[in-house]
Structures are given as C-alpha cells and as structure tokens.
Amino acid sequence: MASTEGEERAVYPGSFDPITNGHMDIIRRGAKLFPRILVAVLENPKKATLLSTEERVAIIRDIFKDQPHIEVEAFHGLLTDFTRVRGARAVIRGLRAISDFEYELQMALMNQQLNPDLETLFMMPSARYTFLSSSLVKEVFALGGSVHELVPPIVEQKLREKFASNPESLSS
C-alpha cells in the first residue's frame, strides 16, 4: 500500500496497548498537518501485550472508520523499512515529558542514519493528556479505577472483557 500519488503520508508508530485519548489527540492533530496518517501498530513477539496485534489494529480501525485519511496497519522490523515501503517521509512521535525526550531523540537519530530522507516530528500532547500512558491506563483499570475519560469507549469495553476473562492480565 504505497502513498497515493501526490499525497504526503506521515507514520505514527507505537504499540498502542491500548490506544489512549492521548494517542488519538496526536493522530487528529497530525492529520491537520498531513493529508494522510498511517497509524503503524508495532508487532513485537518479544514484548508481552494485553491486546493482540490484531485486536489493537481492529480497535484503531473502528475508532477512525469514518476518517479514510487515517489508515491503520501492523508492522514489525525496522520503522525505516516500513516507512520506505509505504512511501512516507515523516514520522510523528509524541513527547509527554522530558523523560521521553532522550529515548525519542536516540530513535530519531538512528532512523535518520538508516534513512536520511526520513524526518521525525515531535508533538506535545494536549495538556490534559501529558500524564497519560497505556501502562498507566491498564494499571488504573486493573485496580478498579475509572478510565472513562482516558480512552475511547471501545477500549474501555475491551479492557472489561480482557480483565473479566483473566483478572491477572496486567501481569502479562
């Protein structure tokens, strides 16, 4: 699936386990800068996730089903290879706090080394989401807290299903 001729595409990669309102904020704001956004869901068999890659892709596709300029696809391997094959020249990354910066800077510099034509754009989330992470959402939910204002309804429902079927899911 290469980029539509003449339309610039940016890739927003992540594990999205689960997608949060903070992720959605970055996607929506990125869509104001680029005609097409490809949400790239990382498939990493070495990393234990609560939601399978297929579940994460399906959830994100459902959330953005009425927005054809936002695409969703799973990927594994090097991000630079994925962006090259998909015709993207920009990567969007969110920075919540200064603690994210060092890691993200290293990744951006390595990606630039691997593909000098690939640019990384760092976006700050809206202030109300600066504290938000997928790990925090899972932990709060597992301990009985409300995540209603932190994730889309489909994610909250999926968390209910996962934790109802396996209350120990958080430790995976």
Burial status of residue 54 (CB atoms within 10 A of its CB: 0-12, 13-18, 19 or more): exposed
- 């992720």: which residue's tokens? 23
* Residue pair 111/79 in contact by the 8 Å Cβ criterion: yes
Dihedral angle, C-alpha 61, 93, 124, 133, nearest 10 °: 60
Pairing assessment for the beta strands 90-94 and 9-14 based on DSSP bridges? parallel
**Residue 168 contacts residue 48 (beta carbons within 8 Å):** no
Would you name the residues annotated as active-site residues? 23, 47, 96, 134
Which residue in 20, 23, 26, 31 sits closest to 66, CA to CA?
Answer: 31
Query: CB neighbours (10 Å) of residue 1?
Result: 10
User: What's the maximum distance between 2 C-alpha atoms anywhere in the chain?
Assistant: 48
91 phi and psi angles, rounded to 5 deg? -120, 135
